[in-house]
């Protein structure tokens, strides 16, 4: 369960004094207190809490993704769910750019050499040669050097708020952006040159220099990228996942990076978080890891809390809530 900061709870109490706010600081307190709640502001209500929540009518989550919470009992329940989609779209889109820049410009290698006080100009600018093994001391040198986003072919899978924001920024830097979404016949978003349905994915992967995953986690997107999909990609291709860890088969990705099937990857999300210190992904070559931090900004919790407060006022008045989740669809 995500713990809502005490400052956010204090702000809600000051703004909405007619309500009683119970602050659960751990799962044990959550299981005890949710029995009294009509509404919950939480990143995760687990099955035991749902069963104990006799009065619960509405859950609001401070994240955009809700796939982790759509277990069968939750989907079948009458509890309304709303999320914070759109709140972090700009922030995550900038994180996507940072990851692509870092991989294209070999910044992880530069950071390693800086720590070693080694002048690595030859490594930074030399093109990697096919067949040259990547060793642990030089894990970030398999990509061609001096790549630019200008002229790159980018495939964005999922064109919600995050995908659209990423597409605009990548296109502004000169990339040719293609999108994949369920409603392929909808109007083209800004920055996107073409949109295809998910059935076209296998035909699109071989053309992409960069693949960005921003789709929600659903039954249809689980293991969307596995060994077969990775084998279709360019040897120099980069894949970035800022959505949910379940969209990528992590073992298949680790194998593909070790065997140089693709050039590199950047992951901000993982199937199990936090990533265990003994997980094989920590030592995979040409993999950049960030700790599910893409969506956070300095005012993240204030913005998320204000959105919840707005929806709580709507809830009180019986008005339509913002960002209602279709629990059957998964987003």
Residues 6+ apart with CB under 8 A from 118: none
3-state secondary structure of 42: coil
Backbone angles phi, psi at 33, to 5 degrees: -80, -25
Distance separating alpha carbons of residues 257 and 238, to the nearest angstrom = 10
Distance separating alpha carbons of residues 103 and 237, to the nearest angstrom = 10
Residue 244 catalytic? yes
- Catalytic annotation, pick one of 147, 244, 250, 260: 244
The pair of structure tokens assigned to 111 is 């950071």
User: Bridge partners of 176?
Assistant: 153
CA-to-CA dists, residue 255 to 33, 103, 245, 246, angstroms: 45, 19, 16, 17
Residue 292 catalytic? yes
- Catalytic annotation, pick one of 7, 235, 273, 319: 273
3-state secondary structure of 194: strand
Distance separating alpha carbons of residues 222 and 63, to the nearest angstrom = 19
- Catalytic annotation, pick one of 95, 140, 181, 292: 292
Cβ burial, residue 240 (10 Å; 0-12/13-18/19+):
buried
Residues 6+ apart with CB under 8 A from 26: 1, 3
Catalytic residues: 244, 273, 292
């Amino acid at each position: 369960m995500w713990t809502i900061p005490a400052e956010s709870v204090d702000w809600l109490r000051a703004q909405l004094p007619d309500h009683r706010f119970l602050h659960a600081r751990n799962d044990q307190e959550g299981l005890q207190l949710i029995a009294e709640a009509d509404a919950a502001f939480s990143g995760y209500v687990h099955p035991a809490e749902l069963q104990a929540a006799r009065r619960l009518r509405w859950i609001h989550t401070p994240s955009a993704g809700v796939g982790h919470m759509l277990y069968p009992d939750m989907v079948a329940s009458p509890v309304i769910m709303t999320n914070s989609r759109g709140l972090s779209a700009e922030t995550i889109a900038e994180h996507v750019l940072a990851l692509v820049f870092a991989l294209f410009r070999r910044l992880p290698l530069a950071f390693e050499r800086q720590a070693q006080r080694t002048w690595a100009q030859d490594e930074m600018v030399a093109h990697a040669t096919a067949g040259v093994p990547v060793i642990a001391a030089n894990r970030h040198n398999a990509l061609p050097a001096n790549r630019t986003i200008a002229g790159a072919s980018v495939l964005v899978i999922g064109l919600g708020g995050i995908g659209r924001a990423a597409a605009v920024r990548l296109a502004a830097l000169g990339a040719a952006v293609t999108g994949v979404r369920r409603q392929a016949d909808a109007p083209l978003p800004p920055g996107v040159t073409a949109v295809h349905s998910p059935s076209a994915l296998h035909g699109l992967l071989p053309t992409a220099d960069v693949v960005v995953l921003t789709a929600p986690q659903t039954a249809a997107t689980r293991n969307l990228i596995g060994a077969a999909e990775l084998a279709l990609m360019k040897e120099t291709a980069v894949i970035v996942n800022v959505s949910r860890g379940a969209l990528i088969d992590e073992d298949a990705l680790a194998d593909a990076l070790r065997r140089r099937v693709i050039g590199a990857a950047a992951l901000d999300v993982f199937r199990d978080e936090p990533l265990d210190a003994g997980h094989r992904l920590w030592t995979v070559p040409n993999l950049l890891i960030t700790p599910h931090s893409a969506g956070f900004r300095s005012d993240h919790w204030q913005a998320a809390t204000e959105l919840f407060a707005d929806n709580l006022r709507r809830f009180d008045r019986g008005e339509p809530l913002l960002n209602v989740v279709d629990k059957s669809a998964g987003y």
